[in-house]
Structure 1
Amino acid sequence: MTNRKLINQLIQLQELIVARMQKKVVMPQAPLDALDKNIAQLSADLPQAINSHLNRLLKKHPEAVVPFVDGHCTGCGMGVSASLINEIRHADELHRCLNCTRYLYCPSEIVAREHASRVYGEKRKIGLARFSAQSLMVSPLTGDTPEEALGQLCSRMQQEGFVFDGGQLLEMALQRETIISTAVDSGMAFPHVRGVEGGGLTMALGVHKKGIHFGGPGRTLTRLFFFMVIPTATSAFYLKLISGLSQIFREKEAREALLAADSEEALWSALMRQTRKVIK
Structure 2
Amino acid sequence: MTGQPDGDQDMPLVAHLTELRTRLLRCVIAVLLIFAALVPFAQEIYTLVSAPLRAYLPEGATMIATGVASPFLTPFKLTAWVALFLGVPVILHQVWGFIAPGLYQQEKRIALPLLASSIVLFYSGMAFVYFLVFPLMFHFFASVTPEGVAMMTDINEYLDFVLTLFFAFGVAFEIPVATFLIIWIGLVDVATLKKSRPYVIVGCFVVGMVLTPPDIFSQTLLAVPMWLLFEVGILFGAMVRRDATEDAGDGNAVATRKHDDPPPASQA
Greater fraction helix = 2
- TM-score tier after normalising by the smaller chain length: under 0.3
TM-score, normalised relative to structure 1? 0.21
Greater relative contact order (CA < 8 Å, ≥ 6 in sequence)? 2
Greater fraction strand = 1
TM-score, normalised relative to structure 2? 0.22
